[in-house]
Amino acid sequence: MSAPVCVVGAGGREHALALALARSSDVVVTPGNPGMPATTAEGHRISVTAAPADEVDAGLFVIGPEGPLVDGLADRLRAKGHLVVGPGADGARLEGSKAFMKELLSEAGVPTARFGVFDRADDALAFLRSLPGPWVVKTDGLAAGKGVLVTDSLAQAEADVVAKLSGSAFGPAGRRVVVEEGLTGPECSLLVLCDGRRVVPLAPARDAKRLGDGDTGPNTGGMGAFSPVPDVDDDLVDDLVVRSVEPLVGVLRARGIDYRGILYAGLMLTPDGPKVLEFNVRFGDPETQAVLPRLGSDLVELLTAAAAGRLSDEAARPAFTAGPAVSVVLAAAGYPHQATTGEVIPGLDPGGQLADPVPGVVVHHAGTRRDGPSGPFRVAGGRVLAVTAVGTDLGEARTRAYRGVEALVWDGAQYRRDIAGGDRVVGVAPVEGGGA
């Protein structure tokens, strides 16, 4: 039997990765979460371990979150001769510093919002005031998806610049800010595999970043997603790859960066054409939960090829089912600020899936814990569960996902009622209110 695949991380994204990889291999997740251990229908096992990644015996390592990538985990694993999906610290700077990312996008000629990078409040405020609005203020450093303010209020943007640069809002991550013009239009998340040279797109997804229905409230890591996206067809995906992803890979190579992993393009389809809002250096969460259940191709093969620098032409279009997937996040009370934890989650069986199953539904665990191996599942983090459903059409997938959600709601749970519904399908630009 060949060595397992090791997935690094503990969230819903890693649960979805583990399930997709376990269609063709045993999987070990570090540190994982209590909803993950399972034996799949094909007989492959998913197990979790507290051992650090570099002590796990695996044939392929897939690093989920950005933090370990920015910290150089992929470099350390490659130095030991392992195959790794995820860039080294050099490539991960794309996500670790929004200023660096914007610099590379400019160099590559990738369409993106007009911007300036500032360490000093007076310069940042002068630039802000020169823009027509809406206004966007981002921490340069990592802030778990919460460091971005998009606002129609210049006064709010000004106050945010001052709070971030003073270090009071986000500590060191905010001591440099990127100020941008606010764009409008529906968003799209495009995840592509990169083997250092070639890129292979996965099916597009649409994420819901704001906490509240109708794109209101603060930005979060993501409250739900669906795939495919009706207004992003294959031709548009090809166009996005050619205009936005390949030029970036060219610039990375020119800088000597051998980028093997996922490039996640966050795009806005503006009236002036698609523009890149950001590049992340990993799979999206919860986009992965909505994309991977639709994957017909072998994920172990695809990721091994990316890690080994040999994505082939056959991989150019991985197969996806026509049936859509919808993933709805259940978050703790207080998220994204101070999450309240400890509540028992009702409606789960001992394996962490729906006690009363709904066809096509899988529960992806993220912030859950258990008191001992057979205790009830409890809330342990901000985003707790992602309830994901496939269906023959978006309506069916959505109905199934929400039936699952309703069975699991605990006192204080937060979730959006409009994932893959109404305006979210075609997309509406979020510009009002909210904040970091």
Tokens of 335: 């998220």
Q: How far is CA 293 from the centre of its chain?
A: 15
193 makes contact, choosing from ligand GLY, ligand AMP, none, with CB < 5 to 8 Å by partner type, with none
* Residue 160 binds ligand AMP (CB under 6 A): no
Q: By C-beta, is 84 or 291 nearer to ligand GLY?
A: 291
Q: By C-beta, is 29 or 267 nearer to ligand AMP?
A: 267
Element (H, E) at 400: helix 394-408
Number of residues that bind ligand AMP (CB under 6 A): 16
Q: Are strands 60-63 and 5-9 parallel, antiparallel or unpaired?
A: parallel
Q: Which of residues 200-219 bind ligand GLY (CB under 6 A)?
A: 207
Closest CA to 310 of 299, 302, 320, 321: 302
- The distance of closest approach from Cβ of residue 4 to ligand GLY in the complex, given in angstroms and rounded to an integer, is 25
* Residue 407 binds ligand AMP (CB under 6 A): no
Pairwise CA distance, residues 272 & 371, whole Å: 53
- The distance of closest approach from Cβ of residue 138 to ligand AMP in the complex, given in angstroms and rounded to an integer, is 6
Integer CA distances (angstroms), 37 to 16, 49, 355, 415, in order: 12, 10, 16, 25
Q: Which of residues 260-279 bind ligand AMP (CB under 6 A)?
A: 266, 277-278
* Residue 104 binds ligand AMP (CB under 6 A): no
158 makes contact, choosing from ligand AMP, ligand GLY, none, with CB < 5 to 8 Å by partner type, with none
Closest CA to 157 of 175, 173, 134: 134
Pairwise CA distance, residues 85 & 232, whole Å: 26
Q: Which of residues 277-296 bind ligand AMP (CB under 6 A)?
A: 277-278
Q: By C-beta, is 64 or 421 nearer to ligand GLY?
A: 64
- The sign of the torsion formed by the CA atoms of 164, 170, 176, 177 equals negative
Residue choice 14, 140, 158, 285 for contact with ligand GLY (CB under 6 A): 285
Residue choice 284, 318, 430, 435 for contact with ligand GLY (CB under 6 A): 284
Contact status, residue 158 vs residue 276, Cβ threshold 8 Å: no
* Residue 287 binds ligand GLY (CB under 6 A): yes
- The distance of closest approach from Cβ of residue 178 to ligand AMP in the complex, given in angstroms and rounded to an integer, is 8
Q: How far is CA 299 from the centre of its chain?
A: 17
- The distance of closest approach from Cβ of residue 370 to ligand GLY in the complex, given in angstroms and rounded to an integer, is 25
* Residue 145 binds ligand GLY (CB under 6 A): yes
Helix locations, 97-189, DSSP H: 98-108, 121-130, 154-165
Interacting residues toward ligand AMP by CB under 6 A: 113, 136, 138, 145, 148, 150, 180, 182-183, 187, 209, 219, 266, 277-278, 430
